[in-house]
Amino acid sequence: MLEVFYNSFGVILLVVILVPIFLFAILLFAKPKLIKDEARKARTTYLLLIFCLIMMILSYFNDSKEERKSNKAQEIILLGDNAFANSLYDDALLKYFEALNHSKGAYNNLESMCSIFNKIAQTYRMKEDLDKALGQYSNALEVAELMNENVLIANAEMQLGRIYYDMEKPNIGINHKKKAWNAIKGTNNEELKFVILKELASNSHALDQVGMAIKYLTAALQISKNIGPIEEEMELSYELGMLHKHNRTFDLAIDIFKGALLLGLVEMNEEYESRVLFQLGNIYFERREIDNALDYYYQAISKSTHLGDTNLLKSLYSSIIEICEMQDDRGCILMYLKKEASLDERVGNIRSLIANYIRIGDFYVNTQKIGNNAIALNKFEHALRLAEDNNCMQLQLTALNRIGDLQIKMYDCYKAIECLKKGLNILKEQGDCPVKQTLLASLTKAYECTGNKSMAIATLQKMTKSKVSNPKIKN
């Protein structure tokens, strides 16, 4: 600005000096009768030039004052930003408000004011003062509307929507985000469109408006194909497939997941591929197309095993066990129960391992073959030892109850009594609860097994009394 002033000032000054000299030279050679008229014209021209010079000087000083205010505001904003970055939110607020005062005094500086309102609101949000944040974002919106700047309006509406979500007012929040979309959709700002559409999709899904969520996410996916990166497109494709699955529009979900699978292949992202394969398997399972479901599950297992993705492998094994149970394929059930237990042991997931040993024991109990009860007892006892060593009381009680019931079945009634009493001793301080009722019922059977009817009756009465004193307990 200063350089421009000096250049312009120099030109005007040169003209002010040279024009009179030029006019005087003309007058020297002009005819006498023209001298009076030319002198009048020269004087008028010279006065106009002086007036222009004065106006330019005044304009410079006025612009210079406004520029100094604007520059000062920017310097203070930087100090506020630095305080914000260091989590010094009170200091940041002081600087932002100071910058706001400078911006208010500067001519035509609405955009800067809008930016400062947003910064103040963001700082209040970090301080969890949502009411003040709401007020400042409202100020930003008011300034943006005054400027008639759609991008700034959309940003302010989006931020208001986020605040209302933080305040647990989702319906008001989503309405503001819809206003943000209406403001931005006619612009070329694809990045902000993308952000707003994603948030509208997520918020609509949270409000169980699955159809609207699909609509917004489909639009966001189309934008992501144009602005990239491909990783964003992959994740949106996965989310859209999940929405269609939730909406039970399975054909569309399958098409989207198959497209997502191709993206994963192009990017050579096996972790993503295995997730997509698992969901394709789940959809075919929902449709009871078991062969297709198993095909995708096996493909997912192959990739997950290679990657060592234990969480996904566990989910895959559970899904296949469910199919095996539907088909009453007992060999398949046992194989995948053992695979799941082996996986738990490898990763140190003790609680899940104990639960799996109990499930394997249950499998052997329910399979009527010679020797199976002994195998089941071994699994239950293994589960009990692990539960005791790792202080897993609920699983310990479950294992004790299973051992007691199985020993009654094997006519080892005294050991059953010993085992069930151990479980009841653990529950001494727990009061009446459903597990206690189960143990008392099994203990009654154990006493009947030994022929000790008086103890069986006493235990039964104890169980009945416990139920009467605690009506919440159900059979």
Q: How confident is the model at residue 471 (pLDDT cuts 50, 70, 90)?
A: very low
For a pLDDT cut of 70, what percent of the chain falls above it? 81
Q: Considering the domain boundaries, does residue 121 fall inside one?
A: yes
pLDDT at residue 50, rounded to an integer: 61
Q: Fill in the DSSP letter of residue 313.
A: H
pLDDT at residue 269, rounded to an integer: 93
- How many domains, in total, are found in the chain? 1
Q: Considering the domain boundaries, does residue 238 fall inside one?
A: no
pLDDT at residue 321, rounded to an integer: 94
Q: Fill in the DSSP letter of residue 367.
A: S
* Cα(424)–Cα(452) distance, integer angstroms: 19
Q: What is the pLDDT of residues 409-465, one digit of tens each?
A: 889 889 989 998 988 888 876 666 788 888 888 888 988 888 888 888 888 888 777
Q: Considering the domain boundaries, does residue 363 fall inside one?
A: no
Give one DSSP letter per residue of 391-431, joined into a string: T-HHHHHHHHHHHHHHHHHTT-HHHHHHHHHHHHHHTGGG-
Is the pLDDT assigned to residue 25 strictly greater than 80? no
pTM of the full predicted structure? 0.73
pLDDT at residue 459, rounded to an integer: 82
283-295: b or e for each residue (b if 16 or more CB lie within 10 Å)?
bbbeeeeeebbbe
Amino acid at 206: A
Is the pLDDT assigned to residue 105 strictly greater than 60? no
Angle between helices 372-389 and 393-409 (to 10 degrees): 160
Q: Domain holding 119: CATH number? A: 1.25.40.10
Q: Considering the domain boundaries, does residue 252 fall inside one?
A: no
Query: Are 363 and 337 in contact, with CB atoms under 8 Å apart?
Result: yes
Mean pLDDT calculated for residue range 466-475: 47
Amino acid at 306: H
Which residues have C-beta within 8 Å of that of residue 138, sequence separation ≥ 6?
Answer: 156, 160
Mean pLDDT calculated for residue range 121-145: 93
Give one DSSP letter per residue of 32-71, joined into a string: HHHHHHHHHHHHHHHHHHHHHHHHHHHHHHHHHHHHHHHH
For a pLDDT cut of 90, what percent of the chain falls above it? 56
Mean of pLDDT over the chain = 84
Q: Which structure tokens are listed for 393?
A: 């009381």
pLDDT at residue 106, rounded to an integer: 46
Q: How confident is the model at residue 189 (pLDDT cuts 50, 70, 90)?
A: very high
Q: How confident is the model at residue 75 (pLDDT cuts 50, 70, 90)?
A: confident
pLDDT at residue 53, rounded to an integer: 59
Higher pLDDT, 41 or 86: 86
> Which residues form the domain of 176?
68-187
Q: Fill in the DSSP letter of residue 205.
A: H
Higher pLDDT, 229 or 175: 175
Q: Considering the domain boundaries, does residue 94 fall inside one?
A: yes
Q: Considering the domain boundaries, does residue 106 fall inside one?
A: yes
Q: How confident is the model at residue 1 (pLDDT cuts 50, 70, 90)?
A: very low
Q: Considering the domain boundaries, does residue 104 fall inside one?
A: yes
Which residues have C-beta within 8 Å of that of residue 44, sequence separation ≥ 6?
Answer: none
Residue from 296, 360, 294 nearest 333 by CA: 360
Mean pLDDT calculated for residue range 245-268: 95
Is the pLDDT assigned to residue 142 strictly greater than 60? yes
Residue from 342, 282, 344 nearest 316 by CA: 282
Is the pLDDT assigned to residue 375 strictly greater than 50? yes
Is the pLDDT assigned to residue 257 strictly greater than 70? yes
- Across 75-89, 325-339, 439-453, which has the greatest mean pLDDT? 325-339
Asked if residue 471 has a cis previous peptide bond (ω within 30° of 0), the answer is no
pLDDT at residue 458, rounded to an integer: 85
Is the pLDDT assigned to residue 65 strictly greater than 70? no
Q: Using only C-alpha atoms, what is the Rg of the chain?
A: 40
Is the pLDDT assigned to residue 60 strictly greater than 70? no
Q: Considering the domain boundaries, does residue 251 fall inside one?
A: no
Higher pLDDT, 35 or 295: 295
